[in-house]
Amino acid sequence: MPSVLITGATSGFGKAAAQRFAQAGWSLILTGRRKERLDALEKELAAKVPVLTLALDVRDSDAVARELGNLPDAFLPLTCLINNAGLALAPEPAQKVALEDWHTMIDTNVTGLVNVTHAALPLLLEHGAGASILNLGSVAGQWPYPGGHVYGATKAFVQQFGYNLRCDLLGTGVRVTDLAPGMAETEFTLVRTKGNQAASDALYSGTTPLQAEDIAEQLFYLATLPAHININRLEIMPVRQAWSPFAVDRDA
């Protein structure tokens, strides 16, 4: 039975991915900080497939190494790692952002992602051909926008880290993909605005954003491609989202 480790399975893409992979009979290792949500997801899915929940913060390298170093044999070798846990904070301009918010994004999206990858690599290498690392990047990793500052930079890291991993994993059969979504309706904006539901609703209203299930479907597609195929980067936007012209500062 194939197995998938999903970070950030308590909400959004991660939760939808857990449901999608369960539907196809994969064993699930689900992580996130909110234990009550993990418990609810386990209750929902454990009748279909084996589910292991690990309440942990990806920023805690010791906890990540300890938990992933002690996975039950039934979940090994690991077929797929979905590095999904992440967040954006501080949509305001860089010059107005609290330094702590920048640190939280770097600690989670960069340090947390490498903590999990480092601990999971031996488990994926044991699987070899057909194993995958699917990293949640973002359009923000490639395209700059106002208020993107450190968030976009962390996602550029995710892209380049994935490409570099591919070089080192050549010959092992383990694949690496940077899955880079555009606007998607999850709890992402609620987190970014520190709980401003009205701002979150306003961002997604009057348009057709991607849904968590759209991304889950792409994750499942990537994880089940024939073993000789590696998609390096997959960028997905809603049809109703595109780029803007360059901004130019002019004399008044």
Ligand X SMILES: NC(=O)c1ccc[n+]([C@@H]2O[C@H](COP(=O)([O-])OP(=O)(O)OC[C@H]3O[C@@H](n4cnc5c(N)ncnc54)[C@H](OP(=O)(O)O)[C@@H]3O)[C@@H](O)[C@H]2O)c1
Give the footprint of ligand X on this chain (CB under 6 A). Answer: 7-8, 10-14, 32-34, 57-59, 84-88, 108, 112, 136, 138, 181, 183-184, 186-188, 191
Rounded Cα gap, residues 224 and 99, in angstroms? 40
Of 71 and 112, which CB lies nearer to ligand X in the complex structure? 112
Whether residue 163 lies in the annotated active site: no
Q: How far is the CB of 227 from ligand X (least distance, A)?
A: 26
Instruction: Output the CA–CA distances (angstroms, integers) from residue 55 to 41, 134, 231, 234, in the order listed.
Output: 12, 21, 30, 29
Q: How far is the CB of 249 from ligand X (least distance, A)?
A: 28
Q: How far is the CB of 115 from ligand X (least distance, A)?
A: 10
Terminal Cα-to-Cα distance of the chain (whole angstroms): 65
Q: How far is the CB of 160 from ligand X (least distance, A)?
A: 16
- What's the token pair of residue 114? 């490498």
Of 125 and 153, which CB lies nearer to ligand X in the complex structure? 153
Of 86 and 162, which CB lies nearer to ligand X in the complex structure? 86
Instruction: Output the CA–CA distances (angstroms, integers) from residue 141 to 19, 93, 148, 227, in the order listed.
Output: 27, 17, 9, 27
Of 127 and 134, which CB lies nearer to ligand X in the complex structure? 134
- The torsion angle over the Cα atoms of residues 107, 112, 115 and 117, rounded to 10 degrees, is -140
- Which SS3 state, helix, strand or coil, does residue 5 take? strand
Closest CB to ligand X: residue number: 12
Of 112 and 121, which CB lies nearer to ligand X in the complex structure? 112
Q: What is the CA radius of gyration of the chain?
A: 18
From the candidates 151, 163, 204, 221, which is the catalytic residue?
151
Contacts of 233 (CB under 8 A, 6+ apart): 137, 159, 162, 177, 178, 179, 180
Helices 12-23 & 212-223, crossing angle to 10 degrees? Answer: 50
Q: How far is the CB of 174 from ligand X (least distance, A)?
A: 21
Q: Which residues are catalytic?
A: 151
